[in-house]
Structure 1
């Protein structure tokens, strides 16, 4: 599972997709270990990139997953992606991360040198019988040094602060398999903070959270917006989207609407979005 990719600083307009992973892997393997980390607990003011999907299509066999998807994500905004299960939301994210082939163009427009993309997946699949602690998991996801060699001093402080922000620092020695689903989701949120991202991609981060976890997530979302981080957020909780998002795109194989929450989350548009055979956009 790839949690984050750092784009090579070649230019400020970076095509993404299949090339994203290649660009990240082309960097020296020691680059992260040699670069001082910003404090995970106090996000610095940054300017995230804008993101553009232009006529992005994805077909698997005879099935059309994405059909000429086009929309833009503004820099420093919280942009929600909503739609029915099977509507292509997670596939679009995988296309962005270079995990699925596509037609069309995806572009990141950075204000300066290309930065870091953080990714928080919907769920974590692993053998719950493994003796893997929260610290072990964070080490495996955040450092190049093998996790079995222990937590790097370079990352120990940042990992502790990230876990503190999600309310999991006191459970860092617990086995991952012994955590509840909501606690594991908080750990996934924490790993998305290291190294500090300029673009954060979230795939249904609230799905397993309890009420306390939801409050933690909403506080993080507020912090990310204040810090200027660009957030692309897949979410089923439309009430939360209405309160927290700056803009909403409705996706059911194709874009049916792209507007502010007040304009997007109307009964008519939601009925169109969640119908089995989507009609033209309202």
Structure 2
């Protein structure tokens, strides 16, 4: 299934007395790779949480799926928090995330092939019986990427997926991104690596509580806009939108 277009209209979020998001309006084109960049605390993860229904917010958020049925949304967090002493293997984790059958019954025959294929795509098929706690941070991030492939998503939401990846892992991520784009999957991607955004994204939005710029990466990621984006205060309204 092709991915949806996303429309954020005047989205706001206030926690206590702090404005986390201030009238954020942006559109993510269907089937595009759309990157969100900005400083820590600038509201990127909060915007994703509004999309996933995890945070109450003001304004309107619309997913425009093609056809009459909504598709699958996959989410890849920045890191996996768990007790590393747990005797949970990679297969156990994939079973818990990708099937309805209880994990203690083992892999479902209906999901076993798909899980094996997903682990193969991220280069971890030979470590499927390794304990999750024994994996490196980059390997655990690859497992998170693998679980996002089952079932095939129409929308993928990525929260800094490259933060723990080594060079080999980054190459695997780039192949996955290219595959999603070729399949028409919509990707909303939070990323700090601006060089990767410049190479891989179709569109980029600078967010520091409010939208400071929005456009194709090459003409949009100028030094002046980036300086305003990563300053400690939200940038002036004069830099809000780039053509």
Which range, TM-score by smaller chain? Answer: over 0.9
- Contact 1:48/1:229 (CA < 8 Å) preserved in 2? yes
Structure 1 residue 116: deviation in Å? 0.6
SS at match of 1:236: coil
Distance in 2 between residues matched to 1:114 and 1:188, nearest whole Å: 23
User: For each residue in 1:195-241, what CA deviation from the matched residue of structure 2 results, as whole angstroms up to 9, or x when unmatched?
Assistant: 10000000000000000000000111111101100000000000000
The reply on whether 1:211 has 2:156 as its aligned counterpart is no
User: For each residue in 1:167-190, what CA deviation from the matched residue of structure 2 results, as whole angstroms up to 9, or x when unmatched?
Assistant: 011100000000000000000000
Question: Which sections of structure 2, spanning at least 5 residues, go unmatched?
Answer: none
The reply on whether 1:130 has 2:86 as its aligned counterpart is yes
After TM superposition, the runs of 4+ consecutive aligned structure 1 residues lying more than 3 A away are none
Question: Which sections of structure 1, spanning at least 5 residues, go unmatched?
Answer: 1-45
- Contact 1:272/1:281 (CA < 8 Å) preserved in 2? no
Distance in 1 between residues matched to 2:121 and 2:238, nearest whole Å: 40
- Contact 1:257/1:281 (CA < 8 Å) preserved in 2? no
User: For each residue in 1:147-173, what CA deviation from the matched residue of structure 2 results, as whole angstroms up to 9, or x when unmatched?
Assistant: 122111111100000000000111000
Q: TM-score, normalising length from structure 1? A: 0.83
Structure 1 residue 264: deviation in Å? 1.7
The reply on whether 1:141 has 2:93 as its aligned counterpart is no
Query: Which residue number corresponds to residue 109 of structure 1?
Result: 64
- Contact 1:119/1:202 (CA < 8 Å) preserved in 2? yes
**Pairing of 1:189-228 with structure 2 (within 5 A):** 189-228=145-184
SS at match of 2:118: helix
Q: TM-score, normalising length from structure 2? A: 0.96
Q: 1:60 aligns with which of 2, 12, 15?
A: 15
Query: Which residue number corresponds to residue 237 of structure 2?
Result: 280
Q: How many residues matched?
A: 237
Distance in 2 between residues matched to 1:145 and 1:253, nearest whole Å: 41
CA RMSD of aligned residues (A): 0.7
User: For each residue in 1:95-145, what CA deviation from the matched residue of structure 2 results, as whole angstroms up to 9, or x when unmatched?
Assistant: 110111100010000111211101111100000000000000001111111
